[in-house]
Amino acid sequence: MIGAIGAVVGLIGAGADAYGQLESGKAEKKAQEYNAAVALQQAEASRRSGELGEVVARRQVRQAIGQQRASYAKAGVNFTGSAIDTMVDSLTNAEFGIAVERYGAEVKARGYESEAALRRFYGNEAIKSSRTGAISTLLGAGTSFGLKMGAR
């Protein structure tokens, strides 16, 4: 009789353990989904930051070119030859810098998107692992129960 009570208590404990494993998997998935959402927000912020940086850089370039033109005009330089070449070089260099900044922001954003995908994967794996653990716990308890009851 005591052996049967112990076997039943063992089954109840295994059920509670299995439930805890399932809940742990759900909590881990929820945490990973949150982390994925944060990573996607960071990706968006990186893109917006890159766009803002581009706007600021273009404004600075316009100001610099304007100052160059004003300086040339004040000095009586005609806008031909080397004066134009200097402004074109300045503009070309600025555009290259802007392109590099934009590329960097996009690379960073894609890194965050990859992190989000990885976090979702981890969450899904946590669910699978918790289910496997719960099933294993229940099967082990069932086997133990059967052996105890069969030994009677």
Predicted pLDDT of residue 144: 83
Give the whole-angstrom CA distance, residue 94 versus residue 84. Answer: 15
Domain ranges of the chain: 2-150
Give one word for 84, left, alpha or beta, with left for phi > 0 and alpha for psi -120 to 50.
Answer: alpha
Predicted pLDDT of residue 109: 97
Q: What is the pLDDT of residues 5-58, one digit of tens each?
A: 777 788 888 889 999 999 999 999 999 999 999 999 999 999 999 999 999 999
Give the whole-angstrom CA distance, residue 91 versus residue 137. Answer: 69
Instruction: Residue 85: count other Cβ atoms within 10 Å of its Cβ.
Output: 10
**CA 123, 125, 129, 131 torsion: positive or negative?**
positive
Give the whole-angstrom CA distance, residue 4 versus residue 23. Answer: 29
pLDDT at 136 over 90: yes
Q: What is the pLDDT of residues 55-112, one digit of tens each?
A: 999 999 999 988 888 888 888 887 777 878 888 888 999 999 999 999 999 999 999 9
Residue closest to 52 by CA, chosen among 121, 21, 98: 98
Do the beta carbons of residue 23 and residue 131 sit within 8 Å?
A: no
pLDDT band at 152 (very low <50, low <70, confident <90, very high): low
pLDDT band at 145 (very low <50, low <70, confident <90, very high): confident
